[in-house]
Structure 1
Amino acid sequence: MKLELREALRQQIIVGDGAMGTYLYQMGFPVGISYEELNLLKPDVIVDVHRRYYEAGARLIETNTFSANREKLSKYGLEEDIEAINRAGVELARKAVGRDAYVVGAIGSIRAGRRKNFRTAKIKDDLRQQIEILLDTQVDGLLLESFYDLEELLLALKIIRKLSSLPVICQFATEGTGTTQDGVTLQDAFAKLEQNGADVVGFNCRSGPNGLLRSLERVAAIGGELPYSIFPNAGIPDYVDGRFTYAATPQYFAETALKFADLGARIIGGCCGTTPEHIAAMSRALAGYSPGPARADRSQPTSAGAAVLPEREPVQPAAEVLAQPAPSAKPDGANEPNIVDLVKQRHTVIVELDPPRDLDIDKFMKGARALKEAHVDALTMADNSLAVTRMSNLALGYLVKEQTGLRPLIHIACRDRNLIGTQSHMMGLHTLGIDHVLAVTGDPARFGDLPGSSSVYDLTSFEMIRMIKQLNEGVAFSGKPLKKRASFIVGAAFNPNVKYLDKAVQRLERKIEAGADYIMTQPVYDAALVEKIYEATKHLSIPIFIGIMPLASGGNAEYLHNEVPGIQLSDEVRQRMGSLKGEEGRAMGVQISKELLDTAMRYFNGIYLMTPFLSYEMTADLTRYVWEKSGRAISTCTH
């Protein structure tokens, strides 16, 4: 006989199901429809998806009712069908699975991370309507998932507790920051939920396994009485040829499921991008797993913690033999040619340093000065990469230029600005004397830290390149004269970590036709691939900067390989990083990068180094290595 859900969680780990919406998308159902309406229009499809997850080993099945509330359904003119859609969602889940499965009614956030002016009274009414319908069906519990702030989640939980004693699972959408979107620490948020009658607390969506492991470590270290539930995404989505794809493999999910279990997770499933294959792999990995008796014994950080490099004071680089005078503190652009002309003459190093996610720029500026002492040729700054909000790279670029003399190279994403904002931004860069830029598409906003924000995409990266070069002709985006000509040097991004390199090169050729002056690649971790890139691109007329990013730890290596689009590590590199962390991990990461540089420098003059976790001493070390290998010995002395 099936145990009541609360009792079952005391004795075992329950495997949850995987994604519904993104799985339907993979099956051919387009974005822009109500997937919940398929409960009425395509019931056999929904039953089939539930059955696949059940057969994969899932024993906690979510109804296809995540967005079946008045606010969401009204966008499709379905507000009169709320009850029918919710009741059908429960019936279809029950029909698809055996009697040993727990069917829980899925209820999603109405705000969904958006800053839209939602009245609290309306949110309460909409939540209550859906909750009352689901409680009038044969569900084993309710799952409140993808809530961004504590306030709304408490609203839903309190409504349920006034109406029912059924088990309630409460999950925040988080990306590993340690707080909810309304600024409450995760520990305090979980304590508040426990006080108000939650039975299970946890996380889903927004992050892959790595990010949710970090969040779970934070709360597990504090302890608590409630079991945890975890439903990670299959990594960060990539947008390729008009479709979203996810990189995290079933095997990776199997490995991380055990880490979640060690930290006290009692329900483990998957969110966006996961499939029955991911669930089957986790089910096999967790078969026979025996939950420990006390959370206190499981609160020590797992190896996932190695993916996060704690900030520390930079070490001072050792002085080297002075072979030539160090540049003055004037902008490099005043002393040397632009990057394109420079890389035709000698090896040239661009280093990327991420703008901070907070208001403290001290470490960033220390890093910029250290890289100046290492004599990098340009410091490049991303434009809210991975759709995560960071300090303006325009402001930091100006400070870098004025205070260190380094040449700033600014990324410009199509995602965040419309045509008006983009031209205004470019005009501002021109006025500040910042003339090196990189045009990129930008990751979709819905997958970043403010998922309620809009992705603009007025321009593609091809159009962005053309429009910036149009400013160099003294012509505005509107076609009007600008009285002066800009002088932008425009770069384009290139991802060589793909199955069909020839197709990626064809796309690159189109960017060159649009006016790109140089190319910067995603990080490469295979010397053989460096050679393939050279052979595939040697006919191109513009220089290529090969991307190399030193790894910080074994956990960092696994995260990049499994969750970040556009990055693939060789098996050899992953084995060498293994479980290394701390100084050992960084040392091995730098050593691997030096070996890659040995190959890269034979084929390319352009080197693009990416700094992990603001650990600028690593990329400063690699920059000095480039100068040693190229015979351009320099010193850290600036007197």
Structure 2
Amino acid sequence: MKPDLRSAWKNNVLVGDGAMGTFLYQKGFPVGISYEELNLTSPEVIEDVHRSYIEAGAVLLESNTYSANYDKLSKFGLEAKVAEINRAGVRIARHAAGETGYVVGAVGSIRAGKRANLSSSELKRFYAQQFSALLEEQPDGIMLETFYDVEELHLALRSVRKLSGLPVICQLAVDETARTLDGLTLPEAFQVLEQDGADIIGFNCRTGPNGIKRALKSLQGSLTLPASVYPNAGIADYVDGQYRYGASPEYFGQMAPVFADMGCRIIGGCCGTTPQHIAEISSALRGYVPQPIPEPAVKRSTESITVHEPLGEDRDRNGGEPNLVDLVKERHTVIVELDPPRDLDITKFMKGAEALRRAGADALTLADNSLAVTRMSNMALGSLVQTRTGLRPLVHVACRDRNLIGTQSHLMGFDALGIDHVLAVTGDPARFGDLPGSSSIYDLTSFEIIRMIKQLNDGIAFSGKPLKQKAKFVIGAAFNPNVKHLDKAVERLEKKIASGADYIMTQPVYDPELIARIAKATAHLDIPIFIGIMPLASGRNAEYLHNEVPGIQLSDEVRRRMQGLEGETGRAEGVAIAKELLDAATAHFNGIYLMTPFMFYDMSVQLLEYIWTKQGRKLSPLFR
């Protein structure tokens, strides 16, 4: 009879298997399907992959259940088959492993480094459902793999520990920063996981053997548990429509004893690895006798771990000028939106910005390709507005156009330029814009991007790496009050505030009664709200906004008044309606958000003058 898994790795280095997903991809199974569903539809294919790794020398197999949780399977309409798929995955691996091999139930991160907007209770429910199904088939252990942050891995580990005392292997996915996405150093992360009951802690995915070797080096002297490593076969290259990995099987064979010497008791492969890679690992470790895991050189503290330390000194980049959140507490404050141009001529835009500055706008806000229509970069224009006019730019940052890499890079650029007021928005889907063939990214939701920008303010990069100084972003969130159930919209708004929003900017409102209702429904909120007012340019403009633009709803009275009006007559009536709305808005809110239609900035100038006259505010000659 084979020893239990804990006994097996105590005095031996166990050879794990290699990739499942990328190996299936190489065998012709396309990206975009559920590989876990193959446990039911093509079990012979999955067993053949498992057996190829056993024949190569692996003694530890992972079940094909990495993404077999409710959240991931629901994207394929398979949420009702969570238990069936997981149970089948263990059975198939067990059959391939035979009498001498071990099987661990593989469970992957649900958030997958994207900070998905899932509550802790949802995550607990999804993990408990998957663990329960796996454990019914009596695997030799559980492997929690490819977790990017300790918070989620901590939750998953505690969930499985409530159900079973089986061995649990925990694997983080880290890069060269040697920190988790939530900012913990690796010794800190290992300490948390050890205290939670992990049996083995290690690394997989995200990097090749060299990157994982560096991560292990950062732990030398503090390892108190055996480690496991499943590196990728180097960095993937995209050639002729296919992903290719360059690290050779021979290289994996050379690295295997190195990992074993560093305290690893399980060594396998992740993305891009094949049975050939596992065969080289097995050959290199034949006859290897591991040394006992040494006692840690420095005894670990039992005190709670501090994740983020203050980094650098705060910078005052506004010369003592208050930010909008502080300013709006003192007096009525007006943000004016001016859309970046759709061509390369910025002459009219800059004239408009200067006119709005002279009229007393407190900030100029620039959308980020609103309605998915391609416009000039708001980063470039924001910088020009700031340097040429002295008017504060407030830039929108849409989730649609940039992945995590591009989003952080974009924000770092704003920080370098001294642009520190931003509005986080989801962004309209690309297929409805002027380039319908382009892709919508949506790596982040509006909730997540707010949290990530706040993380930059803490001096922590999206990767968890500490930065040399902290950003100073003042972060706005969008609010659409033009809905049937205002209370539900406010609940969603509360979540954005909980994520870290500093102020709120609403969609345009065209009903004084709704403005009063918004004031009452948000009276309990402790951050400022800027009520959106957009003057209408014509009757056609009014009907288009009401019927075709998401988040905008005009009252019947406003539509009646604008009906049939065009040109100067239409704009004059639009300004008159906007003034009435401003009377209602300024009675309840200090924050006003004017949206300029069609570059008719003279309409916004008239409204600014109306606001300041009503408030009795005289502008400094510097504005003129």
TM-score, normalised on structure 2? 0.49
* Max Rg structure: 2
Q: Which one scores higher on RCO, CA 8 angstroms, separation ≥ 6? A: 1
